[in-house]
Structure 1
Amino acid sequence: MPLRIVATKPNPALVTLPWSTPLEEWDDTYVVPLPRGLSRHVVRIVRLGHDVYAVKETREAMAFREYRMLRDLRRMDLPTVEPVAVVDGREAPDGEEIEPALVTRHLTYSLPYRWLFSHGLRADSLPKLIDALAVLLVRLHLAGFFWGDVSLSNVLFRRSAGEFTAYLVDAETGELHPELSEGQRNYDLEVAYGNLFGELLDLQAGGFLDEAVDPHEIIELVETRYTALWQELTGTEEFDTSEMWRIEQRIERLNDLGFDVDELDIVTDWDGATVRLQPKVVEAGHHSRELQSLTGLDVEDNQARRLLNDVSAYCAHAELGDGDRTIAAHRWLTNVYEPVMAMVPPHLRGKLEPPELFHEILEHRWYLSEKAHKEVDIKVAARSYIDEVLITHPQEVITASDDPEALMGLPEAGSPPE
């Protein structure tokens, strides 16, 4: 049986991987020791030149189905991993067939939940992960995606200005519909509750999560956050014509949540005394789009909100007034952001994503300023953070210049902390 690779923009080096060998037998020649989550399938992370991929063995029908589903979700600009290829026709030298493989691009600076907790994530940060999962589920449901297997294990997390952003990593059970029924949404929530409960108990059994954490309270948090966000994004409100300001207020609330409103359904009753308002089309990434239009930086939405605040503070400090915000943002980029990022030594640049690192430096500057009872210069704060904090932070990404052996200290998912 000939080897067949179905791919979008394929890396020619994919052909050089040992497809005639089962994934579980791949060694350090190909595999890089980046953290990976729990999976019912065999998964390996490999590097080919500058590119890093996740390779998963699965059945042929499931591989092609998930590949196409992920492509559809990416076209809808939803937070998922990027599908790269399906490798079929794998065969061992003795002629035995080997399961096909789905290849996805490794999401840089992304981490599975178990790795976060095994590296010291505190129990009080758990609500941030749960919030990120709830936001992801709402976004997927708004797009008509029925997940079928909601869990922390099927998600990767990226840091986002002290919060987290969740990305769908496993879509093999998913279905796309024009619109989801309330029953479909509730089913996904029920699955989420069951899976989350088990995952939290597993974390506690492994010593990664404080025994004082009550899984029932976390489940309630998922329900509360999902319900509140869904209602804000889709709910209908009624008011009289003397309260038309509530239209702008609703839009501002959605912007604060990180969503833009593309379409509103505004209906008045027969005598024009009452107005009914319902958002029809909302799109995530409000702050990200604003920052990108001003500076060209492409970052997570919470990071964008934090950086936009610093741009505003820079403008006020530099007394730039209410002039062209694009010019002011460009000055901030060239006079503040880029010089601070240039201070980070090359061997430390895999510790944190640049915008997250800048957020951490801003937090560190606040701490130093409080301690000194005066404002500390951003570059002084950056040098202090790099020398005292960043150097102790675990590596979260592998770059082309990294020696894989230097990352061997990263534990596999499920391994206990040292």
Structure 2
Amino acid sequence: MTPRSGLDITTSGTAVDTAALISLPWDVPLAEWPDSALAALPRGLSRHVVRFAHLEGAVVAVKETTESSARREYQLLRRLERLDVPCVEPVAVVAGRIDPDGEPLPTVLVTRHLRFSLPYRAVFSRRLHRDTLTRLIDALALLLVELHLAGFYWGDVSLSNTLFRRDAGAFAAYLVDAETGELHPSLSRGQREHDLELARVNVAGELMDLMSGGLVEGDVDPVATSQLIIDAYRRLWEELTADMSFRPGERWRVEERIRRLNSLGFDVEEYAIRTTRGGSELVLQPKVVDPGHHQRRLLGLTGLDVQENQARRLLRDIDEYRAVNHPEMDEHEAANRWLIEVFEPVAQSIPANLSGKLEPAEVMHQLLEHRWYLSENQSRSVPLDEALESYLQTVLPHRRDEDAVVLHPTTTMLKVLELPSENYD
């Protein structure tokens, strides 16, 4: 139906978005919207009436609330968006709604639905492996850290106010409901601790609710699981906010910092090195990833098809190469330059008598590890050429020959060559 005059639409979208918004049945209470206007997507729990609707080939979430709350949340989400904080995209505030009898209807906040995302009840009701559950919890902890670093006090931390997204092997959590939030230049320790306490209590309660309905495995401990969020948050906050400045000859400390994040279960999506008066400082962007993510990303960037741990280490070197040498390049261009200027020269430098020891990707992986250990022991950034010379003299000759299993040309049977025992690790 066409809404009555007096409809007040505030939006930052295009004219097409506005025209499409006007076509929705605003003179009908949201709970009574016809199926023809709605999208069949799973909804989380909410104190408000929330529905998903089709809008010009996209899907939006429509929430009934008060006009003051809708306008405040709309502006807050727009500010968070500009800060590049993971949250839903605000589309519009629609006020001035009246039904056919002239009775006022609640104002609505319209946000764009986050594709491929699920509310927690849809995620946790599946029979998740424990390591997957841990990654989801880490994603929520990471979201809270990102919000706090941006100066956002949530005020209602819960699974219900979060969407989880699994995209290209990465797990991410997104803020959905900012109604109780506040944005400050920075947060005090007390504000952060209050959000953490809310997370602990709310998440435990939500998991207990799932267990009572038989929607989650019985061996999941709600209290212990909610505590995992707090523990992950504290470790990540300390690692991201601790002072990290270094002199030009101490780039090995960057690797040390990333290793500590890896040991906490977090990967690094990207990092930047910024020059300061006293040297340089490191800015990290962590994320939570699924097994196989690095292998797929490296294959897409370079065409190298290697194992997961090898890919993780090579990607880290590509990121460092880009940050130090070509920060202006996109990752695909930088990866191609790294392939030509770093990887291929290393592969070509392997003497013929050692070429059967390891595949080139493993050689590169071990070389980078060797350089890091040399740098750490010597408290300086050892150049790659120097590390390569050391590696070829002291490490590679003692590795077992991985080309020792060959296919017999006539019998097509595997033949294992006998090697001296000292050639094995």
Alignment TM-score, normalising by the size of structure 1: 0.65
Deviating beyond 6 angstroms after TM superposition, the runs of 4 or more aligned structure 1 residues are: 264-268, 300-304, 327-330
State the partner residue of 1:260. 271
Q: Secondary structure at the match of 1:219?
A: helix
Q: How many pairs were matched up?
A: 305
Displacement of 1:328:
7.7
Displacement of 1:97:
0.9
Q: What is the RMSD of the two structures over their aligned residues, measured on CA atoms?
A: 3.6
Change (3 A) 1:166 1:48: same
Q: Does 1:157 align with 2:164?
A: yes
- Write the letter of the residue equivalent to 2:254: E
Instruction: Indicate if the aligned counterparts of 1:160 and 1:301 stay in contact, CA closer than 8 A.
Output: no
Instruction: Indicate if the aligned counterparts of 1:260 and 1:282 stay in contact, CA closer than 8 A.
Output: yes
Q: Distance in 2 between matches of 1:57 and 1:145?
A: 23
Q: Does 1:244 align with 2:250?
A: yes
Q: Distance in 2 between matches of 1:75 and 1:18?
A: 31
Instruction: Indicate if the aligned counterparts of 2:127 and 2:216 stay in contact, CA closer than 8 A.
Output: no
Displacement of 1:186:
0.5
Q: Does 1:146 align with 2:134?
A: no
**1:2 aligns with one of 3, 6, 31:** 6
Instruction: Indicate if the aligned counterparts of 2:126 and 2:216 stay in contact, CA closer than 8 A.
Output: no
State the partner residue of 1:77. 84
Greater relative CO (CA pairs within 8 A, separation 6+) = 1
Q: Secondary structure at the match of 1:78?
A: coil
Q: Distance in 2 between matches of 1:186 and 1:259?
A: 28
- Write the letter of the residue equivalent to 1:258: E
Instruction: Indicate if the aligned counterparts of 1:128 and 1:163 stay in contact, CA closer than 8 A.
Output: no
What is the CA deviation profile of residues 201-233 of structure 1, one whole-angstrom value per residue up to 9, with x for unaligned ones?
A: 011011111222112221221121111111110
Change (3 A) 1:315 1:283: closer
- Computing the radius of gyration from Cα coordinates, the structure with the larger value is 2
- Write the letter of the residue equivalent to 1:155: T
Displacement of 1:71:
0.4
Q: Distance in 1 between matches of 2:335 and 2:271?
A: 24
Instruction: Indicate if the aligned counterparts of 1:311 and 1:329 stay in contact, CA closer than 8 A.
Output: no
Q: Secondary structure at the match of 1:53?
A: strand
Displacement of 1:120:
3.9
Instruction: Indicate if the aligned counterparts of 1:146 and 1:185 stay in contact, CA closer than 8 A.
Output: yes
Instruction: Indicate if the aligned counterparts of 1:197 and 1:215 stay in contact, CA closer than 8 A.
Output: yes
Q: Distance in 1 between matches of 2:52 and 2:275?
A: 44
Q: Does 1:133 align with 2:137?
A: no
State the partner residue of 1:201. 208
Q: Secondary structure at the match of 1:224?
A: helix
- Write the letter of the residue equivalent to 2:303: Y
Q: Distance in 2 between matches of 1:7 and 1:210?
A: 43
State the partner residue of 2:54. 47
Q: Secondary structure at the match of 2:36?
A: coil
Q: Distance in 1 between matches of 2:115 and 2:233?
A: 27
Q: Does 1:104 align with 2:111?
A: yes
Displacement of 1:118:
3.2
Q: Distance in 2 between matches of 1:154 and 1:30?
A: 24
State the partner residue of 2:304. 315
Q: Secondary structure at the match of 1:77?
A: coil
Change (3 A) 1:138 1:155: same
Within a 5 Å distance, the mapping from 1:12-31 to structure 2 comes to 12-31=19-38
Change (3 A) 1:121 1:283: closer
Instruction: Indicate if the aligned counterparts of 2:88 and 2:176 stay in contact, CA closer than 8 A.
Output: yes
Change (3 A) 1:6 1:200: same
What is the CA deviation profile of residues 316-355 of structure 1, one whole-angstrom value per residue up to 9, with x for unaligned ones?
A: 68xxxx9x9639869xxxxxxxxxxxxxxxxxxxxxxxxx
Instruction: Indicate if the aligned counterparts of 1:81 and 1:105 stay in contact, CA closer than 8 A.
Output: yes
Change (3 A) 1:140 1:325: closer
What is the CA deviation profile of residues 255-289 of structure 1, one whole-angstrom value per residue up to 9, with x for unaligned ones?
A: 94335245477869xxxxxxxx975x55557x9xx
Q: Does 1:178 align with 2:167?
A: no
Change (3 A) 1:242 1:108: closer
Change (3 A) 1:301 1:218: closer
Q: Distance in 1 between matches of 2:75 and 2:141?
A: 24
State the partner residue of 2:45. 38
Displacement of 1:308:
2.3
Change (3 A) 1:168 1:14: same
Q: Percent identity?
A: 49
**1:230 aligns with one of 234, 237, 241:** 237
Change (3 A) 1:327 1:261: closer
Change (3 A) 1:304 1:326: farther
What is the CA deviation profile of residues 13-65 of structure 1, one whole-angstrom value per residue up to 9, with x for unaligned ones?
A: 11011111110001201011111111111001011231211100001100000
Change (3 A) 1:136 1:262: farther
Displacement of 1:128:
1.7
Unaligned 5+ segments in structure 2 are 307-317, 319-330, 338-425
